[in-house]
Amino acid sequence: MTVPYYVEHDYKQVQVPQEILYYCDSFTLDADREDLRYIDCVYMNMGYYGNDPKLLKRMRQEHFYQPQPIFD
């Protein structure tokens, strides 16, 4: 678990879910959490740009999907 991260939306502080932080950490490898690229990733995955939240969640889950071997 990482330190809670908050963004401002509609003049309120909103806590970002850990799943989104993990995704944005891996998606924007060399960006600090104060960089615009990282903040943009967070806002997009929070659904603030009008994207479908279910589609974004599925995209994040596919990013971290680890295929399991059939045989050991």
Summarised one tens digit per residue, pLDDT across range 19-71 is: 999 999 988 988 999 999 999 999 999 999 999 989 998 888 888 776 667 77
Tell whether the model's pLDDT for residue 16 goes beyond 90. Answer: yes
* C-beta pairs of 4-12 under 8 Å, 24+ apart in sequence: 5/33, 5/42, 7/39, 7/42, 7/43, 7/46, 9/46, 9/48
Domain ranges of the chain: 6-63
Residue holding tokens 């963004």? 7
Tell me what pLDDT residue 68 has: 67
Query: For residue 56, how many C-alpha atoms fall within 13 Å in the half-sphere facing its CB?
Result: 17
Answer yes or no: are the C-beta atoms of 41 and 34 closer than 8 Å.
no
